[in-house]
Structure 1
Amino acid sequence: MDKIRLDKWLWAARFYKTRSLAVQEIGKGRVLVNGQPAKPAREVAAGDLVSVRKEDPPMQVRVCAVSSVRGPAPVARQLYEETPESMAVRERAAEIKRLAPEPALEIISGRPTKRDRRLIDLMRGKQD
C-alpha cells in the first residue's frame, strides 16, 4: 500500500479524532496537499507535503509513511515529520504569545458595580 485517502491518513496520523472530523476540516479548506486545496478522497503518498491548520500558525508535515489503521500515538508520529520551517514558525509564534501581556491585567478594578454604573450614567447626563 503506497497511497491512501487523505481523510484516512489524517485520522491514522492522529490529527483528527474521527474521519468525519477530518472530512469536515478538509471541506473547510483547512488542509492543503502540496500547497493546493484537497478533497477527502485525494490520495497521499510518502513525500507529499500536507499543511494542517488546527491552530495558528498551520503545521506543515511531510508524509513519511501511510497506514490505514489508527495505532498508538508514538506509531502515528512516525507517519509524518514536521518541516523545519514549520517548527521555526510555530516556536516563534509560541514565544510571541508567551511574551504578550495578559489582556486581563489592564482591568484593575474589574467590572463596574451598580453604584459605579449609576455614577457613570450621571456623568454622561443620562438620568432616569
Structure 2
Amino acid sequence: MESTRVDRWLWAVRLMKTRPDAAAACRAGHVKVNDRPAKPATVVVPGDEIRVRVNGTTRVVEVTRTIQKRVGAPEASLCLIDRTPAPPPDAPAPVATRSRGTGRPTKRERRVLDRFRQGGPD
C-alpha cells in the first residue's frame, strides 16, 4: 500500500494552492487525519479521513488514492471522496419598510437605512 505526506497530498489534489500553505495549515492545527491533529509529515493512506479548514470552511474528504505530484483537476477528483456536509440554508434578510404616506426620508433616516442595507452597525 502506497503512502504520502499529508501536506504533499493536500497540494497534489488541489485542496491547497501551494505546498507551503498546506504545511502552514498543518502546523496551525487546521488539518486532522482520522480526527487527530496532523503535522505536515503525517502519512496518509487510502481510506484515511482528512478534515481541513480552507478559506473559512471545513472540508471533509476521504483518501481514495495517494499521489506525489500535482495533477489536473479531473484526475485529482479521482483521488478523494468529498464528504463535506452541505452548508445550512441562509435565512432571508429582513426588509426595511416605511409606513405609507410618511414622505421622503430625512437625511438621518437615509443614513440609518444605508447602514442597515450595508450590514454595518446602527
Show the counterpart of 2:10.
Answer: 10
Supply the distance in 2 between the matched residues of 1:38 and 1:80 (Cα, whole angstroms): 18
Q: TM-score, normalised by structure 1?
A: 0.70
Supply the distance in 2 between the matched residues of 1:72 and 1:79 (Cα, whole angstroms): 11
Q: How far did 1:109 drift? A: 3.5
Moved runs in structure 1, 4+ residues, more than 6 A?
none
**Residue in structure 2 matching 1:101, options 87, 93, 114:** 93
Q: CA RMSD, aligned part only?
A: 2.2
Structure 2: stretches of 5+ with no match in the other structure: 97-110, 116-122
Supply the distance in 2 between the matched residues of 1:5 and 1:60 (Cα, whole angstroms): 17
Structure 1 position 110 matched with structure 2 position 114: yes
Higher helix share: 1
Show the counterpart of 1:117.
Answer: none
Show the counterpart of 1:77.
Answer: 77
Matched residue type, 2:93: P
Supply the distance in 2 between the matched residues of 1:78 and 1:29 (Cα, whole angstroms): 26
Instruction: For residues 48-68 of structure 1, give each alpha carbon's deviation from its aligned partner in whole angstroms, at most 9, with x where no partner exists.
Output: 000011145411111000111
Identity percentage of aligned residues: 33
Q: How far did 1:101 drift? A: 1.7
Taking structure 1 as reference, are residues 101 and 72 closer, same or farther at Cα in structure 2, changes over 3 Å only?
A: same
Q: TM-score, normalised by structure 2?
A: 0.73
Q: How far did 1:26 drift? A: 0.8
Show the counterpart of 1:22.
Answer: 22
3-state SS in 2 of match to 1:78? helix
